Amino acid sequence: MSLKKRTLNGFFWSLTQQFGVQATSIVVTIFLARILEPEDFGIIGMLSVFIALGNSLIDAGMTSSLIRTRLVDERDYSTVFFINLLVGIAAYVLMVVSAGLISDFFNQPVLESIIKIYCLVFLIYPFSAVQKTRLVKEMDFKMELKITVPSMVIGGIIGLVMAFQGFGVWSLVGMNLAQNFLLSVQFWFLTSMRPKWIFDLERFKYHFKFGANLTLAGIINSVFSNIYHLVIGKYFPVAILGFYSKADSLKQIPVKNISSTLSRVTFPMFSEIQDDDEKLKQAYRRIMQQVLFWLTPVMTLSAVLAEPLFRFILTEKWLPAVPYFQILCLIGLMFPIHSYNLNILKVKGRSDLFLKLEIIKKSLAILGIIIALPYGIFAILWMRVGLSFIYFGINSYYSGKFIDYGVWSQIIDLIPIFIIGAISGLVGWMVKDCIENVPSLDWFRIIAGGLAGTFIYFLVSLGTKSKPLFEFKNLILKR
């Protein structure tokens, strides 16, 4: 099968898998949010930085190295598996030892026992990481779909049953552990990859050389991507962190469905054409435009319709999260641009530059937090938006040097999409506001505003002969 056909096939199954996972996640989240309190989500949000940090250490950048390396065998897979397992054990021990200190830092006594149970995921994750990586490298997202969706559904049911039984925050702990355990069991038994008792020092050095910089970058990114949870949890009431965590997670749903789906497909695809700069540039350009074309109306209309959406789906107790969500949607729009620019550095083997850029950007984040913190939660959120645009300039400048597709070229390609998105958002907002703002009519305001905005978006796109729309028609629909 040609690279183009494999990419299209991979995109279809990856999108189906992401849709299945996110659809399950949305349903479970809605019910849990109705049953549990914002404080419960806030407590779990306090752990986000530590969980992300542990996952970065376990991965050690080596799974990315496996995907990027063209010829790999059992020595590579088995060596990386044992490294992941050893680091996972170390990460769990470290979290257990630190549990009391973390609990004291947030002044939440319940955190100590939660950490000791929740962080068992560090022992579970290594048993699926390499198997999943092999499927991604082979673009076998159909098998991943068969494994992931049932695990999410069963784990979600366990979480809901616990919530109905009054377990509170422990419902979220139980759901997460169940999902990760089921994933690892299925990846282990339903895929052909079994690690052998092999540890090849030379293969370790090879993958570690590439992965070390990505590990450091991943650690930095994990800490600073979740540092807002850390800061908000420390300096604001736990309910505020709950509202922020929920807004942030809901913002991620369309981003993960559209952007992350293509990211998982494009990294192995980019790796196969890494030596052809012109082909890499054209592939990158098309993918970037496609992602932003479909993501823009979703994020724009979600922000515009946030108030009736939150009240109708999550109930009025979550309305304080609405302005957080609306601001975070702006950051969500920028995420795929950051992701794909950085993928160029990875496929070019410049993990050293990747690390340097992460250090620069996170230094700016520290400065931003110091400046914004005295002015409250909204100053922090708007600071994140400003930093997101600065990150775009930094990422695209350096990735553009490798494929001759720099900052200005990317802006020219993407501005028309954002303008059309703004027009559709304005129409959706006007239609929504024409309908009386009462809870009983929220469903009608959502449907009317959403349909009106979507109609205008595609109408203007057709009228202006939007390139991504016509490319999608020629590339996807005809097949």
Cα–Cα distance, 398 to 407 (Å, whole number): 9
- The DSSP output letter for 289 is H
Residue 159 token pair: 């979480």
Residues 185-219: tens digit of each pLDDT: 888 887 766 777 777 777 777 767 666 666 676 67
Which amino acid belongs to residue 113?
Answer: S
- The DSSP output letter for 441 is G
User: Percentage of the chain with pLDDT > 90?
Assistant: 25
Residues 126-181: tens digit of each pLDDT: 887 777 777 766 666 677 777 788 888 899 999 999 999 999 999 999 999 999 89
CA atoms within 13 A on the CB side of 425: 20
Does residue 104 carry a pLDDT above 80? yes
Decide if 261 contacts 253 (C-beta within 8 A): no
pLDDT for position 49: 79
pLDDT for position 466: 83
> Across residues 353-382, what is the average pLDDT?
88
More confident residue, 75 or 314: 314
Decide if 168 contacts 40 (C-beta within 8 A): yes
pLDDT confidence tier of residue 275, bands split at 50, 70 and 90: low
Does residue 342 carry a pLDDT above 70? yes
pLDDT confidence tier of residue 269, bands split at 50, 70 and 90: low
Q: How many CB atoms lie within 10 A of CB 209?
A: 13
Q: How far is CA 60 from CA 57, 83, 137, 190, 216, in A?
A: 5, 9, 17, 25, 8
What is the reported pTM? 0.76
Does residue 323 carry a pLDDT above 90? yes
pLDDT for position 177: 93
pLDDT confidence tier of residue 401, bands split at 50, 70 and 90: confident
Residues 34-85: tens digit of each pLDDT: 888 888 988 888 888 788 777 777 765 566 666 666 667 777 777 878 888 8
